Amino acid sequence: MSIVTPAYIQVEDDIRAILRKPGYDNGNIGPVLVRLAWHSAGTFSGLDGSGGSNGATMRFAPESTDPANAGLDIARAFLEPIKQKHPWISYADLWTLAGVVSLRHWADLAGQVESGCPVRSRVPPNGRLPDAALDATHLRAIFGRMGFTDRDIVALSGAHALGMCHTDRSGYDGVWTHYPNQFSNLLYKNLLEMTWVKRDWDDWDGPEQYMNVGDEQLMMLPTDMALIWDPEFKKYVEEYAANQDVFFKDFSCAFGRLLELGVTRDENIEGHEEGPRGAPQNE
């Protein structure tokens, strides 16, 4: 069930209005908002139900200072004026909604967008988000904890068609595709169709990353390379490279599930369809 109230639509409109930002990266803040939504949800652990977007705990240490979240303070700051304008919406809902609105820019995302209303949330420890320097085993451990399959992992990784890496955030550098403001299956096509070698520029002293032979304009993280190095993952890379519609469908389902991880709902959710909640419960 999705909540579509006039109040939510106003927030969506306000998010849409700030997406284009000349002078910032490639002129659009959508990619970093998608990353914010994913990192706020991606701390969930199916083992004990902790983590997830509830409570927007990334505002607090140690999650706010987790190196994996470097740069997401910028994304949160972009959204702060919208929170001030619509104080009824929780931060958790706002961040989730911002990720979805950004993606809807490019694709029809069927996933659910609303968060629930937790009574209390604990800030999850650092180390729950993936480390880009690692491999397929690590990806399976991280995403398996959230209940995702190999197919889901490959689908979610396709988000790297969007946006870029920043040396002052993660230490990595560059874009994954020549069209970082377009959501597409290009990540998979690039992985398969281009030849990738370790970046070995004389002046590159950052972490190990890969570049395309040819114009050397594109990059892959070691975890992106794992998608073609691992034969099970590679099957899905091939499927998504060949069929963008299947990718969009699978991505929508997996991203919707990701955003819902650990979210508890009001029992009387129908009431929300009348308008925004009264008192925000998960600031």
Catalog residues that contact ligand CCH under the rule CB under 6 A.
Answer: 31-32, 34-35, 38, 71, 130, 132, 139, 156-157, 159-160, 162-166, 169-170, 172, 221, 223, 255
C-beta of 117 vs 154, nearer to ligand CCH:
154
C-beta of 35 vs 128, nearer to ligand CCH:
35
- Classify residue 176 by burial, with Cβ atoms within 10 Å: 0-12, 13-18, 19+: buried
How many C-beta neighbours within 10 Å does residue 53 have?
Answer: 34
Q: Point out the residue whose Cβ comes nearest to ligand CCH.
A: 163
C-beta of 117 vs 221, nearer to ligand CCH:
221
C-beta of 33 vs 123, nearer to ligand CCH:
33
Shortest gap between Cβ of 213 and ligand CCH (angstroms)?
22
Active site residue 39: yes
C-beta of 86 vs 138, nearer to ligand CCH:
138
Q: Retrieve residue 113's tokens.
A: 């967008």
Residue among 39, 105, 160, 272 flagged as catalytic? 39
* CB distance 55 to 121 below 8 Å: yes
Judged by DSSP in three states, 1 sits in coil
Shortest gap between Cβ of 3 and ligand CCH (angstroms)?
22
**What are the residues whose beta carbons fall under 8 Å from the beta carbon of 123, sequence distance 6 or more?**
55, 57, 60, 61, 62, 63
d(CA 153, CA 136): 10
Backbone phi, psi, residue 165, to 5°: -100, 145
Residue among 38, 95, 160, 176 flagged as catalytic? 176
d(CA 266, CA 114): 11
C-beta of 38 vs 95, nearer to ligand CCH:
38
Which of 225, 113, 97, 100 has the alpha carbon at shortest distance from 160? 225
Which of 163, 156, 166, 134 has the alpha carbon at shortest distance from 237? 156
DSSP-derived secondary structure letter, 233:
H
End-to-end Cα distance, the chain: 22
Shortest gap between Cβ of 82 and ligand CCH (angstroms)?
18
Shortest gap between Cβ of 72 and ligand CCH (angstroms)?
9
Shortest gap between Cβ of 267 and ligand CCH (angstroms)?
29
DSSP-derived secondary structure letter, 28:
B
| Cis peptide preceding 62, ω within 30 of 0 | yes
Backbone phi, psi, residue 131, to 5°: -100, 120
Q: Catalytic residues, which ones? A: 39, 176
